[in-house]
Structure 1
């Protein structure tokens, strides 16, 4: 049985997966200890997590977004995937958060995402046009069905390349990257993305316009030029 079952890996686990398993085992031992089900200390409490290299954050350009949406429109028979893609691009939502939207979550020009990774609900405003389209879609269909596979098939038809394992998550990175490049601030982005720590959001800070300008004006080459 493979590592997705949480037992062992037949083809090798990623470092992140191994860290996840270590975290799960630590939690089990700690809970058993709290419940007095075991009389010994957590035997793996001092085992350190594997150090992970920061993942490359890929995001789509405006032209790539147009290309992706056109490909979905032309080739996908799934009635939800085109709208779900635009929801993620407009709000920075994770794909699963967008799929979980129901009509009661669409109120006053905002989308409220529930059952999030952080466990906290958050609301993000969208344009009037998108808001009305989502509400109409949910009135007609009732809910968004599982559409991630349809998104991946459409993505495979494009010539867009980015690191493996990101797939629909690249839409979230795309929102965040363009938000910062268009002058948005880090604290607002943290709230929109629903990230628990500012450290996670700071990954996008290097894309700010001011940051990029400083790379030119404050480099040693600028002194040579003058």
Structure 2
């Protein structure tokens, strides 16, 4: 672009020509304006002739700026006007982007934003479960709707559909919880504004706590049959029954966690995020000593196919439970025997043999004592002791009442009682 400025027929308007670039048959011209502001000379570039600027249009723009400077209304500098236009442009772009966010369907948000995020943040099993719940139950009912249009009515339909299909109340609750997490995630990223609908829906009531525990004979026969079918499944079951380990804790156990010299097992990164140590029984210590020891970082019970951490208990366990008839005729899932029943049995036997709830809490690795209190009713003679104590209390009261009645009669006979009705009320 040339460096020489050329004047025009309009005061304050000038231009210079580009050395090579043409506009029509003439060199392309770049226009600028000059004016006084706050006692100082200002100069601002306006634009090219190829952009539609002419000397008359530039002069008109200069007149508008001078008028704004005089009246105080509007922008008195070209840069201010450009900034305003840019701000309006950005605001409009933001409005369009927000409109796109507001109108994004629940399914699109889940598939493109939520699920990719939780796949990195949550455990793989948790992410897969949420995806399945969304795809099977949530998506068919409200997947095509924008999140802002989803109401409590939609959620009530979801509840009814799942319950009518025979889904457990716990599954319904988990599905609603998953949906609530999607909304909260969208809220953090400004894809949703307003009240989260799941907070206004009453979750179905249920008691999901398992109450079944094995008798000594049932446990003995189950372990005996497991050992015949799979020694490794037997060892995993024995660990849960004798030491109260969760399946995941058994699967994550490495040889560095097993202290055979002292008969201890150290459990790291448990469900409650606490490290705990449990003692081995003689049977547990015996099978560990007979087992081929690996390196410190090696898993005690690695997945046979992949060599990593197991994902689930062997099918040998439920098959053996079925063959033993432990679940025959039992429909209530709280009464059915599962692998977790072994841990539940461990805790139940301890309480029944006088071990305090606090000690059981520590052995189980519960985060709070409230979780362990479910076993309180199994404490030995707990109800009998309570009944005996109350009986003593009532006997004591009866004796006191008899003494009061005798005293009242004596006072009546001696004339000390002022009012018979008042004396009778003392009984």
Q: Does 1:155 align with 2:312?
A: no
- The Cα of 1:4 is off from its aligned counterpart by 8.2
* Secondary structure, aligned partner of 1:203: helix
- The Cα of 1:113 is off from its aligned counterpart by 2.9
Residue in structure 2 matching 1:143, options 300, 322, 340: 300
CA distance in 2, matches of 1:100, 1:43: 39
Structure 1 partner of 2:217:
63
8 Å CA contact 2:326, 2:337 repeated in 1: no
* Secondary structure, aligned partner of 1:111: strand
For residues 132-155 of structure 1, what are the alpha-carbon distances to aligned partners after superposition, in whole Å with 9 as ceiling and x for unaligned? 533653626953135431111111
- In the TM superposition, 1:1-226 aligns within 5 A as 5-7=132-134, 8=137, 11-53=165-207, 55-74=209-228, 76=229, 78-107=230-259, 108-127=262-281, 130-131=284-285, 133-134=287-288, 136-137=290-291, 139=293, 142-144=299-301, 145=303, 146=310, 147-161=313-327, 163-164=332-333, 166-214=337-385, 217-218=388-389
* Secondary structure, aligned partner of 1:171: helix
Distance 1:66 1:166, change over 3 A: closer
8 Å CA contact 1:92, 1:171 repeated in 2: yes
Q: How high is the TM-score relative to the length of structure 2?
A: 0.46
- The Cα of 1:216 is off from its aligned counterpart by 5.4
Distance 1:4 1:160, change over 3 A: farther
Q: How high is the TM-score relative to the length of structure 1?
A: 0.82
Q: Which structure 2 residue ranges, 5 or more long, are not aligned? A: 1-128, 138-161, 304-309, 396-427
Q: Which structure 1 residue ranges, 5 or more long, are not aligned? A: none
* Higher mean displacement: 6-15 or 21-30: 6-15
Distance 1:34 1:183, change over 3 A: same
* Higher mean displacement: 109-118 or 167-176: 109-118
* Secondary structure, aligned partner of 2:315: helix
- The Cα of 1:31 is off from its aligned counterpart by 2.8
- The Cα of 1:58 is off from its aligned counterpart by 0.7
Greater RCO, 1 or 2 (C-alpha within 8 Å, sep 6+): 1
8 Å CA contact 1:110, 1:126 repeated in 2: yes
CA RMSD of superposed structures (Å):
3.1
Distance 1:138 1:189, change over 3 A: farther
For residues 28-82 of structure 1, what are the alpha-carbon distances to aligned partners after superposition, in whole Å with 9 as ceiling and x for unaligned? 22233234343333222222221113545111111111111111123x1x33111
Distance 1:68 1:215, change over 3 A: farther
8 Å CA contact 1:112, 1:121 repeated in 2: yes
CA distance in 1, matches of 2:212, 2:382: 18
Q: Which has the higher strand share?
A: 2
CA distance in 2, matches of 1:110, 1:195: 19
